[in-house]
Chain A
Amino acid sequence: AQKITQTQPGMFVQEKEAVTLDCTYDTSDQSYGLFWYKQPSSGEMIFLIYQGSYDEQNATEGRYSLNFQKARKSANLVISASQLGDSAMYFCAMREGRDDYKLSFGAGTTVTVRA
């Protein structure tokens, strides 16, 4: 079974607007971590934001925030005030307690920011 599901293959957003990228996950562990990475066309994965399963507050990092809904097993990424440089592939990933080192990634969502 897929551990991470990203249902939006591609999205367009107008510059300066906000965009929400969906991510749902599947785990039976109580302790896990959720990540979002950005992968521009250059290829390297850039860490954006992290949410621990026991964190009560939603994580925020600058223009990035993570909408964590534990009961629904969702961890959506919100990018506010989109910029042209935000155009990239975005991956949701999870690290589970029993294998607290390796990341399981979703299939990704391509975001294109329009001027």
Chain B
Amino acid sequence: GQQLNQSPQSMFIQEGEDVSMNCTSSSIFNTWLWYKQDPGEGPVLLIALYKAGELTSNGRLTAQFGITRKDSFLNISASIPSDVGIYFCAGQRETSGSRLTFGEGTQLTVNP
């Protein structure tokens, strides 16, 4: 079953605002991945995190692997209209092998 709690479920923001979303779990994860998915397309990998405490940036995006290994957040700074989409976190647990556990997604809407 689903073991990742992703929040918020949806966000409506104005262009230029910063955005923050996170995923939490009661399980320990070895890897955290953040994907963005546009309608009708496949998820695109944004950031991959491999070590507890790791903070990684990709342009206006910043993500962190929580110290407890049970959470991760993604920040988007100075949002633009093309940031619209669904953002999924995904994690690989110690005992899950190749399986990724996905969050339910955060639907982001950016008003120009």
Whether chain B is bound by chain A comes out as: no
Residues of B within 8 A of A (CB): none
